[in-house]
Amino acid sequence: MKILLVEDDDLIARDLEQVLASSGYIVDCAANGEEAWFKGDVENYDAVVLDLGLPSMDGLSILKRWRENGRQFPILVLTARGTWAERVAGIDAGADDYLPKPFEIPELLARLRAIVRRSAGQASPIIRVGPVILDTRLMTVEVNGRDASLSAQEYRLLSYLMHHKGRTVSASELVDHLYADDTLRAENAVEVLIGRLRRKLDANIIQTKRGFGYVVTEGKT
């Protein structure tokens, strides 16, 4: 999952970037409104964590412009000002959830997981496909009751596919959501990861659609 973190406080931004990365997310950062608006307008993120108090363009204006331009990624708004009128304005502008500062990190992570799940049509933090169970809270994967022992990158790949189960996902889309901008990215790396995942899962849930990509299903189609 690829997240855009928009926060102008350097200390908060560094701490949140570390927390999000350790929770399995690929994180892009923006420290001002213009940079945030541009990144959100050209990149397909799985979610955005958006502070409202930003230099050059405030977060509410960014949010409105994204939604007006058809950007549909889920957005968790952060603000040091927690008045009910501001919360209403944020929700009406298209925010998916709202978290006033100061906040506890576990709550931010829980709210972020929830808006990502909802955007993918998943209600539960536990996603099951056949014998495979992915727990988005604990970042664990079990197959027939045993730990699959996935690497961080393997987990990210499986998590993305399972969040979008039933939909064919292209290799290029997976590359965009699995790798940071400064990482050497190649579609054959995804193919290698898919092969490793299939061996570790020992379950026939990841199917290849030749010329289109990969899809997670209950069984071979």
**% of residues, the chain, pLDDT over 70:** 95
Q: What's the chain's length in residues?
A: 221
pLDDT at 221: 41
Between 180 and 23, residue with greater pLDDT: 23
Q: Tell me the chain's radius of gyration from C-alpha atoms.
A: 18
> In three state form, how does the secondary structure of 145-160 look?
CEECCCCHHHHHHHHH
The count of other CB atoms within 10 Å of the CB of residue 94 is 17
Q: Within 13 Å, how many C-alpha atoms sit on residue 69's CB side?
A: 15
Span 20-71, pLDDT tens digits: 999 989 999 999 999 999 999 999 899 999 998 899 999 999 999 999 999 9
| Structure tokens belonging to residue 217 | 């299903």
* Residue 219 pLDDT grade (very low, low, confident, very high; cuts 50, 70, 90): low
Q: Give me the mean pLDDT over the 210-215 stretch.
A: 93
Span 88-118, pLDDT tens digits: 888 888 999 999 888 999 999 999 999 999 9
Q: Which of 133-137, 151-155, 179-183 has the lowest mean pLDDT?
A: 179-183
pLDDT at 181: 59
- With a CB cutoff of 8 Å and minimum separation 6, the contacts of 106 are none
Span 183-195, pLDDT tens digits: 556 778 889 999 9
pLDDT at 143: 95
Cα(160)–Cα(19) distance, integer angstroms = 19
Domains of the chain: 2-119 (3.40.50.2300), 126-216 (1.10.10.10)
pLDDT at 74: 96
Q: What is the DSSP letter of 42?
A: H
pLDDT at 81: 66
Q: Do residues 3 and 45 touch, judged by C-beta distance below 8 A? A: yes
pLDDT at 82: 62
pLDDT at 204: 87
Q: Do residues 177 and 46 touch, judged by C-beta distance below 8 A? A: yes
Give the mean pLDDT of the chain: 90
